[in-house]
Homo-oligomer: A and B are copies of this chain.
């Protein structure tokens, strides 16, 4: 993409005029389309419609617990089992919580910062300015947690294999104030990459290279969100950490938000015994226990791993075509080298890089034409994309027709912004 093919100025001028005319048409069409948020579509939510009422009046867990009453900070055993399938670790090391893994992540990071976990020192005790590594582009809500808690964010490039581990290791070696790294290891938000085995192993070893209290924050939000028949396998972080003796330096998160109901799922956290009980100590002051009723509903919906995977197959049937539509639309500009993009095999996002300096303008143009896109910069800490080129597309929520229409508009916005910029370059040259 870096070198756009030479086109003579007249040709460029003509293409610009076409794109502008097309854009004006879109603007007049009164569109209201939205590719911003990673929300499941109604049809996906319908896949779990039986959840309300699934208990059929029986509120007893397998161990006899009346799930309606107080108690059970770690969650219901059968829910922890479900979590263990997502986190790929033993159910005894898994806590099942409320409806939000974001809440667990926030509270976990805050606990590491202010209180320390078990015998591990609190970040604020051992450093004036704790810092966290953020592979970019990344997930804005991870950044918000750090920003609100006053944790400095340092960026590190995201490769197709995961974070650039040479850079990660060098930064960690050079700066003892770095206390954690955010990871979305499978179908990363937004690039969709899956960390390869070498990356997972090097991440698992990382806590051993730093001070006690360092954490690999493993947000495995898309653990079972495959779109292909032979999905990539994520290497097992917890196993690698056990092998490296760094199990007190990893914290794993997942939820059913994009499996059942986005607003009413169950969140999970997995960690070593020491870290988990340290976290429970904090949690015990915050709540008496999670909503075990909803946990039981989920356990009933997914009696085994096979039921879960079959369910995810039905999700794939619904959202696969939307991802295909995004890819098809992008292929229209493949030869022109106006953008590069990712081709995820799962997850919720496609990441597009425009030519440098054009992301904000493309987002602005799309908004003008009635297509809402995630704000440019949102995939970087502090909203600062140094190249102003990254745009995150989230195609799950709109209908297939809407995705197709929105992508037409989007592609034209890329053309419009790119031709305009190229012409200005020509003029300056």
| Chain A interface residues (CB < 8 Å from chain B) | 37, 39-40, 42, 45, 48-49, 52-57, 59, 66-72, 98-100, 102-103, 106-107, 115, 141, 144-145, 147-148, 257, 261-264, 282, 284-294, 297
Contacts and interface: CB of A to CB of B under 8 A. Distances in A.
Name A's interface SS. Answer: loop
B68 A290 contact: no
A261 B99 contact: no
B59 A45 contact: yes
Given A52-B57, A286-B106, A291-B291, A261 B69 contact: yes
Contact of A70 (B39, B55, B115): B39
Indicate the member of A48, A52, A107, A292 with the most B CB atoms within 10 Å: A52
24 contacts: A37-B70, A39-B69, A39-B70, A42-B66, A42-B69, A45-B59, A49-B59, A52-B52, A52-B53, A53-B57, A68-B263, A68-B264, A69-B261, A71-B263, A98-B291, A99-B290, A102-B286, A106-B285, A107-B286, A144-B284, A261-B293, A263-B293, A264-B292, A291-B294
Nearest to A48: B68
**Top-7 shortest CB links A-B:** A53-B53, A264-B293, A68-B261, A45-B68, A148-B285, A70-B262, A100-B287
Contacts of A98: 98-99, 291
Contacts of A290: 99, 263
A70 to B, nearest CB: 4
A260 to B, nearest CB: 8
B52 A297 contact: yes
A360 to B, nearest CB: 23
Contacts of A261: 68-69, 293
A102 B68 contact: no
Contacts of A115: 148
Contacts of A100: 286-288
A43 to B, nearest CB: 11
